[in-house]
Amino acid sequence: MNTEKSEIGKGRGGDVIVETVARLMVPFIQLFALYVIIHGAGGPGGGFQGGVIFGASFILLVIAFGIVKAGDRFPEAVNTAFFSLGVYIYAGVGLLCIILSLGVAQYLNYGFIPLTAHFEENRALGMDLVEIGIGITVMAVITSIFFNLVWKREESEEEGGGGEEVQE
Amino acid sequence: MKLISLSALFFVIFLGVLFIYVAEDIPDFGDPYSAPNRYVNLSISMDAAEGEDNLNKGVIPESLMDKIEERRLPLPSRVEPIKEGEWDAIIVPEEAEQDFYPKEQKYYLIKKEGAKLWVYRYAPIIRYIEEGEKETEVPNMVTYILADYRGYDTLGETSVIFTAGVAVILLLRRREKRPEAR
């Protein structure tokens, strides 16, 4: 299909079968990752597992399309912001418990977030929020580690063992 | 050179003696303050003949209460029979209106073995296993322990992953965005 476009990826990709299969599978992998994160309360799953699956979908993108095209789709500045966003959600939910209960509850006691009328259901919903936070952080970190490793490799291949210019 | 190896030998022997001295104090399996099992024996006992009738009526025998108090353990408030020869002793906290405090806690197991009644202490994890779904409305045991009862742990784990990501960025991120550094 888009063999010409994928030439930007410096020889990586360019195979019609790989690109088409990746393009078809990535949305389903991401949907499954969201399912695993949200389903953590009801069955096997949770933030760590779902985040890793979500990160794996971006790794598949890089393998199929090359780092440049995949990097355009998921810019690293946004990724770095996601790093801390997940931890902020987690810590923020914990702090919200203290604030909304006017100092009665402990940190991370989700029952005091008034989402529903029942203490127990509040705890379940608080747990879901926390799992989402974990998922975002894990996804961003997995993706970022892979992107950084691949960029480094690609750079040195391109410049012929480059990195000499950046002496400080 | 000989002095160094001699002092090294002395140091190793010193460490070994220190280790043996410390290891003496490591409690045996079945210590009341560790919880490796479902319940551990507190080595508090009394004759079964006196206590059994009282326990079936829902009264904890005086001598048993005295022995528990002697050990400075929390006193049980009431007793419920589970099956023949086994009773649960339950602690009802005074501040029952506080929602975050456990309302009632299954604390001791009194078990008849031979002609004696032995007092066991339930491991804290038993409450998470038995009451967790009721308290959190989440059927998955792993999730409610990970994200609720052990929420601090998971926050720490998340920050460890965050730190790992930041470290990889610092070490490996490409530097072409900073041309002015040249």
Q: Give the pLDDT confidence of B8-45 residue by residue, as tens digits.
A: 999 999 999 998 888 776 666 555 455 456 787 888 88
Give the pTM: 0.73
What value does the mean pLDDT take over residues A15-29? 91
Q: Which one of A89, A112, A130, A136 would you mutate to disrupt binding with B, by most B Cβ within 10 Å of its Cβ?
A: A130
Tell me, yes or no, if B158 comes closer than 8 A to chain A by beta carbon. Answer: yes
d(CA B130, CA B145): 12
Q: How far is CA A69 from CA A18, A23, A147, B138, in A?
A: 15, 13, 12, 41
CA angle, residues A129, A145, B170, in degrees to nearest 5: 105
% of chain B beyond a pLDDT of 70: 83
- Maximal C-alpha separation, chain A: 64
Which residue type, as a one-letter code, is found at position B181? Answer: A
Distance of CA B87 to the CA centre of its chain: 21
Report the pLDDT value the prediction gives residue B31, as an integer from 0 to 100.
52
Which residue stretches of chain B are H helix? 2-24, 48-57, 62-70, 125-136, 141-144, 151-172
Distance from CA of A68 to the nearest CA of B (A): 14
pLDDT for A86 equals 93
Closest-CA residue of A relative to B175 is: A166
The pLDDT confidence band at residue A130, using thresholds 50, 70 and 90, is very high
User: Which is more confident, B114 or A2?
Assistant: B114
Query: B79-128 pLDDT, tens per residue?
Result: 888 888 888 888 887 765 555 555 777 888 888 888 888 888 888 778 88
Write the CB contacts of A50 (distance below 8 Å, at least 6 apart in sequence).
A33, A34, A35, A36, A37, A38, A40, A131, A135, A138
Band (A29; pLDDT cuts 50, 70, 90): very high
A153 at interface of B, judged by CB pairs closer than 8 A: no
* Cα nearest neighbour of B132 on chain A: A120
Contact B137 A40 (CB under 8 A): no
Question: Which residues 52-71 of A are in CB contact (within 8 Å) with B?
Answer: none
Of B137, B144, B158, the CB nearest to A90: B158
- In a 13 Å sphere around the CA of A64, the CA atoms on its Cβ side amount to 19
Report helix, strand or coil for B89: strand
User: Between A42, A108, A141, which is nearest B151 by CB?
Assistant: A108
Strand order in the sheet with B86-91: B39-47, B116-122, B105-113, B86-91, B78-83
